Amino acid sequence: MSSKIFEKAFYNALVLAIVYFILVFSLLVPYIEKNSMALEERTGEIELQKIVEIVNNATVEIKEYEKSRKSYTEKEISNKKSFLIKNLKQLLRKIRVGKSGYVYIFDSKGKIIIHHNKKFEGKDFHIINPQTNSMIFNDLIDAYHSGNKRLYYLWDAPNDRGNYIYPKVSWIDYNSYFDWYICSSGYLQDFHKHSQQLKSYLLYAIPLITTVITLLGLYLLKRILQPVIELSEIAKEVAEGNLHVRYRGNIYDDERGVLAKQFNYMLDTIHNQVETLDAKVKEKTKELSHSLKEKEILLKEVHHRVKNNLFTISSIIGLQEFREKEISTADIISSIQHRIQAIAMAHDLLSKENSDYQNISMPTYIKELTSTITSAMVNDSKYRLICNIEPIKLPLEKTLTVGLIINELVTNAIKYAFGNSKYEIVVSMKKSIDKKIILSVKDNGIGFDPSSPKGTGLELVEMSATQLNGKMEIDTEHGTAIYILFPL
């Protein structure tokens, strides 16, 4: 597994292992060695206590014997002591303290009572201690009575006689009944031999244990870091653009599992958002492409409509010229101007539509058109213009025709329907049940005779209704009401 985090963890673990080894070797090994040496030295003292217990038990037995047998002679008691000494000799000769140490007994005068070497028994223990220049038995007695009951000194070795350089230790106890000093002695090197072996074992064991622990820790660390490392590799692939990759490893029931689940959830969310965004971009691109095509078509239609509108204007002028010989030139120009305004206003509204370049809102168009007409033709407040227009949209061609019809009908109503009286003009547009458009212009004026010859304006309205595939109806019962019905 190649990972920077694992490499760092490996080096950190190696450093910790080395530090651990140094600390253990410098602190634990000396502690173990010291306690091991103390424990081994304690074995000599334990052996001494065993002999002391035997002697004490024998003392109690002899004292009980003396109490119950007042008539016993000194010889009998001496025999009892001899029997005790005989048993002790057999026991002491079997005891070894360390490798070459032993247990022996001497009295307060320095006479050796029991020794593992028979030739010393019964002889005086008059051996000089080179360190103190006094008898060694006196040093042992002084050590006991000082309360220490232990004496460390230098002595010669069995294989190096006369060379007093070898550390030795003796434990001393005292039996007052027999006036015996019971001593257990041994060489320190014998006691420390096992501790040195233990130290050697530790020198091999500790590095081995440290290595095993380190390897086990790295193995566990690898198991812990494996999901994190895999997630980092997945993150790299995601950064390179692969949104389909997911974490497929083990989902543990801990923080690693939560991290893996949340990571996959995050990738799913990002993937869905990207797909949604791509879909929106495609849709918007399609809309823009469609809008571009629409604009191209509209541009072509504009040229066509300009041509048609100019032709319409030309026809209106020709009709006006043909029918109205007696009207002044100014009135003719004003009439033509209003009709051109109706056409221009439709184009202006179409250009202002943000999304729909094909259809024009009738409420907006009709209100602006009628307001423009009345503003140009009336200077006082004797009239009232009402527009009741349902929210209907019509294409440009039909809007132009509707605009010409409204222009003619409103203009005629203002000119001819009222005279000097106040008037009301109502322009309405609504849908019928059979989905037809009903356009009406009503006034409360003096009305007119429908059977009389139609003027230029009314004739233009009728022609425009036919152009819408509709029909015109006139009602003069209360003022004048003209209805234009045409399909949507």
Which H or E run includes 350? helix 329-352
Q: Tens of pLDDT along the chain (488 residues)?
A: 445 655 666 667 677 767 766 766 566 556 565 655 555 666 666 766 777 787 778 777 777 766 665 556 667 777 777 777 788 777 777 777 767 778 888 998 989 888 888 888 888 888 888 888 999 999 999 999 998 888 988 988 888 888 889 888 888 989 888 888 988 888 877 766 666 666 666 666 666 776 777 777 667 666 666 667 777 777 777 777 776 777 666 666 666 666 767 777 777 787 787 788 888 888 888 888 877 777 776 666 655 555 555 556 655 555 555 555 555 555 555 556 555 656 665 566 566 655 566 788 889 889 888 888 877 776 666 678 889 999 999 988 888 889 889 888 888 888 776 665 667 889 999 998 888 999 999 988 777 776 665 666 788 888 889 988 999 998 888 788 999 999 98
Structure tokens given for 211: 């290595």
Question: Which class would CATH give 4-199?
Answer: alpha beta
Query: Measured between alpha carbons, how far is 223 from 298 in angstroms, rounded to an integer?
Result: 68
* pTM for the whole structure: 0.39
Using DSSP's 3-state secondary structure scheme, residue 429 falls into: strand
Q: Which residues pair with 183 in a beta bridge?
A: 104, 172
Each as own residue / partner, the long-range contacts of residues 256-262 (CB below 8 Å, 24 or more positions apart, any chain) are 256/224, 256/227, 256/228, 259/227, 259/228, 259/231, 260/227, 260/231
CATH fit for domain 324-487, picks 3.20.20.450, 3.30.70.360, 2.40.30.110, 3.30.565.10:
3.30.565.10
Query: Measured between alpha carbons, how far is 195 from 208 in angstroms, rounded to an integer?
Result: 20
Buried b (16+ CB within 10 A) or exposed e, 284-302: eeeeeeeeeeeeeeeeebe
Residue 86 burial by Cβ neighbours in a 10 Å radius (0-12, 13-18, 19+): exposed
Query: Measured between alpha carbons, how far is 341 from 322 in angstroms, rounded to an integer?
Result: 22
- Cα-based angle 466, 469, 473 (whole degrees, multiple of 5): 60
Q: At which residue do the structure tokens 């002028």 appear?
A: 317
Domain with CATH 3.30.450.20 in the chain: 4-199
Q: Is the dihedral of CA 51, 56, 57, 61 positive or negative?
A: positive
Domain with CATH 3.30.565.10 in the chain: 324-487
